[in-house]
A and B are shown apart, each in its own frame.
Chain A
């Protein structure tokens, strides 16, 4: 499969392209991470993150490829792993000083919102995902969802978002989102 074909498939939302890239470049990224103090599990995680960055960029039309996809993925994985190593270093320092931010609190909020998301209809979940994650424009969102036009997509998205807001407000106090 050529790089052009992969990009084309991702633009159309075909996850098979992601699986193809994963298989093709897995060994290269695992080698990179494992040679730099990482484990294979960490390598998997980093590589999946790199693929997701690539997916988002292609889907949101925010990527101009000037190299092969494999080179791009390698570079993203390298940066992500560098950040992860920095994070580990910082965390080990924070642990010593006893000033760690309770990660579980943030994770708890996310989990509650995700429960609310699951209460939404399948269509709403898809609309919100395509808009907020894939960052599709209203025109593209309308195309992908089979709506008449961008205005319809905008209205639909607004309704779904309002519904989610209500569900979240039922489960959270305003102070839960204060810094």
Chain B
């Protein structure tokens, strides 16, 4: 090989390192073009230097490959971080919600308790008293109720009424629960005109506008109100049954999910009770002292009256 001497090798290296001037470079390239051996030697040297460089690059890259990048730098951990922050905010919000509820809830609960205490119409001790007869007890309780009227509270199902959550319910100790039985005094009872004398003058007008059912039941209610205590029993065996027992209306059903309401209608000076639940109405016959199934009202006229009455009342 004629290009092994140091001076030529030096020129080749200078050329490959791009350290030649433009003039020297073009002269060297002309020489390479005319001399195949020189050209071959340059390519060989280029490959050698390239391999040396590549080996070093691989070694450096290998070092970098082993660098432990913090997981927080990766996209995956960025997502995890966002999720963690979201979860934290969620927990904080939940905490704030419960804190707010705990701060707020006792007041309405207390109010509800007061309403319960003051608006309770004691059940007649004698069974026959349920039969829509006016009693002194009923009158006094009506007065109490008018004084302490809390229509919104009273019209609701006791469970959601008493508190917004079961935890709060327990915390507030607003209802005496034991086993599957729960007694709720009249707090859930529908308000009738009898309980709100101030409305009596106007309401009959409205009642007359209602479609009259064939059986002649009017939408009006009399001042005398049946106010039985209601006991809810979650008894699977007699689910969706009822009975009147010791002056109390016992409902065998689970009313946890939807509101229910006891409606009181007057027909020829005789009161009738209906249970409104989940868009349906059921007859409540005070003479049923045995456990009886809740019978749905099928008379569409009566249903319309009950719907209208319910709307007006609420």
Listed in ascending order, the chain A residues whose CB lies under 8 Å from chain B are 15, 18-19, 22-23, 26-27, 30, 34, 40, 44, 48, 51-52, 55, 109-110, 113-114, 117, 125, 128-129, 132-135, 158, 161, 164-165, 168, 172, 174, 177-179
A-B contact count (CB 8 A): 87
Interface contact A129-B52, CB-CB below 8 Å: yes
How many angstroms from the CA of A38 to the CA of B202 in the assembled complex? Answer: 77
CB distance from A164 to the nearest CB of B (A): 6
With a cutoff of 8 Å between Cβ atoms, the chain A residues found around residue B254 in the complex are: none
Interface contact B40-A27, CB-CB below 8 Å: no
Interface contact B6-A158, CB-CB below 8 Å: yes
How many angstroms from the CA of A165 to the CA of B8 in the assembled complex? Answer: 14
The reply to whether the CB of B201 lies closer than 8 angstroms to some CB of chain A is no
Interface contact A18-B50, CB-CB below 8 Å: no
How many angstroms from the CA of A165 to the CA of B6 in the assembled complex? Answer: 13
Interface contact B40-A109, CB-CB below 8 Å: no
| CB-based nearest A residue for B68 | A23
With a cutoff of 8 Å between Cβ atoms, the chain B residues found around residue A30 in the complex are: 73-75
The reply to whether the CB of B111 lies closer than 8 angstroms to some CB of chain A is no
Listed in ascending order, the chain B residues whose CB lies under 8 Å from chain A are 4, 6, 9, 17, 39-40, 43-44, 47-57, 60-61, 63-65, 67, 69-70, 73-75
Looking at chain A's contact residues, is the secondary structure mostly helix, strand, loop, or mixed? helix
With a cutoff of 8 Å between Cβ atoms, the chain B residues found around residue A161 in the complex are: 9, 48
CB distance from A76 to the nearest CB of B (A): 15
Known: A19-B63, A27-B73, A174-B40. A133 touches B56 (CB 8 A): yes
Which of A109, A135, A158 interacts with B47 by CB under 8 Å? A109
With a cutoff of 8 Å between Cβ atoms, the chain B residues found around residue A134 in the complex are: 56
Which of B6, B17, B67 interacts with A19 by CB under 8 Å? B67
How many angstroms from the CA of A133 to the CA of B47 in the assembled complex? Answer: 13
Contacts A15-B60, A23-B73, A34-B75 known; list 17 others, CB within 8 Å.
A18-B60, A23-B70, A44-B65, A52-B60, A109-B47, A110-B50, A110-B54, A113-B52, A114-B51, A114-B55, A133-B52, A135-B17, A161-B9, A164-B48, A165-B48, A174-B40, A177-B40
Of the A-B pairs whose beta carbons lie under 8 Å apart in the complex, a sample of 16, sorted by A's number, is A15-B63, A19-B67, A27-B74, A48-B65, A109-B47, A113-B50, A113-B51, A113-B52, A114-B51, A114-B55, A132-B52, A134-B56, A165-B4, A172-B44, A174-B44, A177-B47
